[in-house]
A and B are shown apart, each in its own frame.
Chain A
Amino acid sequence: MEQRNNKNTPGEIVLSGVTKYYGIGESKKAVIEDCSLTIEAGKLSVMIGPSGCGKSSLIRLIAGFEKPSSGTITIDGKPIRGPGKDRLVVFQESALFPWMTTEENISFGPIARSEVNTESQNLAKFLIDKVGLSQFKKKFPNQLSGGMQRRCELARALINSPEVMILDEPFRGLDEMTKELMWEYYANLYEETRQTNFFVTTDIDEAVFLADRLIIMTNTPTKVAQIIEVDIPRPRKLSTLFESDQANEIKSRILKILHVEAMKSFKGGSKAAADFIEAASKRAVSNTV
Chain B
Amino acid sequence: MFRPIQKFLFNRSSSRGLIAIIIFLLFWEVCSRSGVWFGIPVPWIGKVPAPTAVVHAWIPMLSDSGYWTSWLLSIKRVYIGFIFAMVIGIPFGLLLAINRTAYGLIFPTFEVFRPIPPLAWVPVAIIFWPTNEMSIAFVTFLGAFYTIVINVLGGAQAIDQRFFQAARSMGSSQGDVFKRIVFPAVVPSIAVGASVGMGITWNVVIAAEMISGGGSDGGGKGGGLGFFIWDSYLNNSYDLIVVGMISIGIAGYLSSGLIRIIGDHFTKWTRR
Contact = CB atoms under 8 A, between A and B. Distances in A.
Contacts of A64: 169
A140 B170 contact: no
A108 B184 CA distance: 14
Contacts of A18: none
**SS class, residues of chain B in contact with chain A:** helix
Contact of A140 (B162, B166, B268): B268
Interface string A117-160: 00000000000000000000000111100000000000010001
Given A97-B181, A98-B270, A288 B161 contact: yes
Interface stretch (A6-14, A24-32, A88-96): A88-96
B169 A88 contact: yes
The DSSP consensus for interface residues of chain A is loop
Residue of A99, A100, A108, A160 most packed against chain B (CB within 10 A)? A99
Nearest to B271: A142
A160 to B, nearest CB: 6
B166 A95 contact: yes
A140 B269 contact: yes
B134 interface: no
B161 A83 contact: no
Contacts of A112: 167, 170-173, 176, 180
A108 B165 CA distance: 13
Contacts of B45: none
Interface in B68-114: none
A85 B166 contact: no
Nearest to A285: B161
Given A99-B185, A99-B269, A143-B272, A93 B162 contact: yes
B260 interface: no
A91 B164 CA distance: 12
Interface of A: 63-65, 82-85, 87-89, 91, 93, 95, 97-100, 108-109, 112-113, 140-143, 156, 160, 285-286, 288-289
The 6 closest A-B pairs by CB, nearest first: A112-B172, A83-B169, A109-B170, A99-B184, A140-B269, A113-B171
24 contacts: A63-B165, A83-B169, A89-B166, A89-B169, A91-B162, A93-B162, A95-B166, A97-B181, A98-B185, A98-B269, A99-B184, A99-B185, A99-B187, A100-B184, A108-B170, A112-B171, A112-B173, A113-B170, A140-B269, A142-B269, A142-B270, A142-B272, A156-B170, A285-B162
